[in-house]
């Protein structure tokens, strides 16, 4: 017989799972072909097996046509909702409620920020300062409130294609801050953070900015046009992840995964150059032609003994050294290095 005292905890877990499933739907709908199963598992800090159960509910319980290709999950059509309009008082109430919703864990940050940006944009310009003054006084947790404010402002800049002045802290310069004017091109979640890809007038080039490092931001009246030939995938290039400056020349990476881990890896696309082969014994050989970054090493460490690095040799030693260090071995003396190229 079930203990009645266990029922509230059970209901809480079910509520958390329901919120997670709804957030997964929002993430995939808002960022098609961006999230793989491992990305979702990392984001929600649960196993890939549990994520798979959530995806099954989305497919079979919610009856949404969820597809998966080499880049990630996407929906083949979503239910169309009728458009509606609101009188001024209702729009103001919705905006205030949306701001409060930003304080609730589990509410999708990107979609809510985009919705708030759209709501704010329909009000006359004379109201903007007043709306900001009212909403910033809502009770907030400082860390989350800052990120939400930045996401909202940057989404609005994208929607209206207006330049934005930011005060940004550069990690490589000891967190020194500097002011610059940027033109947002794209925003993307990565790991547990958000990144802005934008044209930086100071450097006269397209750069990446970690949103949590933007200390201040101001929307300007100056507009801009995103170049028609801008493409996120082309911008990121052959680098593994988003650390473009940390990668060397592209080279061939050969990996051998144990059967279960190999199945997980092969059904997702981790890089556009990925090739997978299931061997007769069930193990999976996976290869990439990629610019190796510390992000890739972290990914390999996640699989532990379930993956062997066949090539290049310097990457195999780097991963082995990280394992030794984690087990309490000698201090890591430095990143191994060896030239290599794709053939």
Mean pLDDT of the 58-62 span: 87
Q: Identify the pLDDT of residue 89.
A: 64
Residue 195: predicted pLDDT: 86
- pLDDT bucket at 288, cuts 50 / 70 / 90: very high
Please give the torsion angle defined by the CA atoms of residues 211, 213, 215 and 217, in that order, rounded to the nearest 10 degrees. -30
Mean pLDDT of the chain: 79
The larger pLDDT score, comparing residue 230 to residue 233, is at: 230
Q: How far is CA 317 from the centre of its chain?
A: 29
The residue behind tokens 């009770």 is 139
The reported pLDDT for the residue numbered 336 is 46
244 Cβ contact list (under 8 Å, min separation 6): 208, 236, 237
The rounded distance, in Å, linking the Cα atoms of 195 and 213 is 10
Q: Lowest mean pLDDT: which of 150-164, 176-190, 234-248, 315-329?
A: 234-248
Residues 6 or more apart from 343 whose CB is under 8 A from it? 252
Phi, psi torsion values for 205, nearest 5 degrees: -165, 170
CA distance 165 to 311: 45
φ, ψ for residue 202, nearest 5 deg = -70, -45
Domains, the chain: 6-75 (1.10.10.10), 88-235 (no CATH), 237-326 (no CATH)
- pLDDT value at residue 180: 93
Per-residue pLDDT of 10-46, as tens digits, reads 666 777 788 788 888 878 887 888 888 988 988 888 8
Tokens 């597809």 found at:
67
Residues contacting 125, CB < 8 A, separation 6+: none
Distance CA 213, CA 193 (A): 10
Q: State the pLDDT confidence band at 6, using cuts at 50, 70 and 90.
A: very low
Q: What average pLDDT does range 251-261 have in this prediction?
A: 93
Q: Is the pLDDT assigned to residue 246 strictly greater than 90? A: no
Kindly tell me if the per-residue pLDDT of 58 is higher than 50: yes
pLDDT at 20: 84
Please state, in angstroms and rounded to a whole number, the distance separating the CA atoms of residues 188 and 172: 22
Give tens-digit pLDDT for 139-150.
333 345 677 778
Instruction: Output the pLDDT for position 166.
Output: 93
Average pLDDT estimate for 246-271: 86
CB atoms within 10 A of CB 293: 19
Largest CA distance in the chain: 69
**Lowest mean pLDDT across 49-63, 76-90, 155-169:** 76-90
The number of residues in the chain equals 343
What is the rounded average pLDDT of the residues 184-213? 87
Evaluate whether 76 touches 85 at the Cβ level (below 8 Å): no
**Exposed, middle or buried, 272 (CB in 10 Å: 0-12/13-18/19+)?**
middle
What integer is the mean pLDDT of 334-343?
Answer: 46
pLDDT digits (tens, 9 = 90+) for 78-136: 776 666 676 766 776 677 666 656 555 445 566 667 777 777 777 777 666 656 654 54
> In this structure, are residues 180 and 137 in contact, taking their beta carbons and an 8 Å threshold?
no
Look at residue 343 in the predicted model and tell me its pLDDT: 45
Mean pLDDT calculated for residue range 221-240: 85
User: What pLDDT, on the 0 to 100 scale, is given for residue 44?
Assistant: 86
Which of 53 and 152 is assigned the larger pLDDT? 53
Q: How confident is the model at residue 282 (pLDDT cuts 50, 70, 90)?
A: very high
pTM of the model as a whole: 0.50
């Amino acid at each position: 017989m079930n203990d009645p005292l266990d029922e509230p905890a059970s209901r809480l877990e079910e509520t958390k799972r329901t919120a997670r499933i709804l957030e997964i739907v929002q993430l995939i709908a808002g960022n098609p072909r961006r999230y793989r199963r491992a990305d979702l598992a990392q984001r929600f800090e649960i196993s890939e097996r549990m994520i798979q159960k959530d995806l099954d509910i989305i497919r079979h319980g919610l009856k949404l046509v969820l597809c998966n290709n080499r880049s990630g999950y996407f929906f083949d059509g979503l239910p169309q909702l009728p458009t509606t309009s609101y009188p001024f008082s209702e729009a103001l109430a919705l905006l205030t409620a949306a701001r409060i919703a930003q304080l609730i864990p589990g509410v999708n940050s990107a979609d809510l920020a985009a919705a708030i940006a759209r709501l704010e944009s329909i009000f006359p310009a004379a109201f903007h300062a007043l709306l900001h003054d009212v909403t910033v006084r809502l009770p907030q947790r400082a860390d989350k409130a800052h990120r939400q404010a930045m996401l909202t402002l940057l989404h609005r800049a994208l929607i209206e294609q207006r330049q934005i002045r930011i005060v940004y802290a550069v990690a490589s310069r000891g967190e020194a801050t500097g002011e610059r004017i940027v033109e947002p091109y794209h925003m993307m979640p990565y790991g547990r953070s958000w990144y802005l890809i934008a044209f930086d007038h100071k450097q006269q080039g397209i750069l990446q900015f970690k949103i949590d490092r933007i200390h201040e931001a101001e929307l300007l009246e100056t507009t801009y046009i995103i170049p028609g030939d801008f493409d996120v995938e082309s911008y990121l290039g052959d680098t593994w992840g988003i650390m473009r400056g940390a990668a060397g020349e592209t080279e061939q990476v050969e990996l051998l995964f144990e059967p279960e881990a190999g199945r997980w890896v092969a059904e997702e696309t981790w890089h556009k150059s990925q090739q997978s082969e299931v061997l007769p014994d069930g193990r999976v050989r996976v290869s990439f032609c990629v610019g190796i970054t510390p992000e890739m090493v972290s990914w390999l460490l996640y699989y532990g003994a379930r993956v062997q690095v066949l090539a290049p040799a310097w990457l195999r030693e780097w991963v082995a050294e990280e394992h030794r260090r984690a087990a309490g071995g000698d201090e890591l003396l430095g990143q191994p290095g060896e030239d290599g190229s794709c053939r």
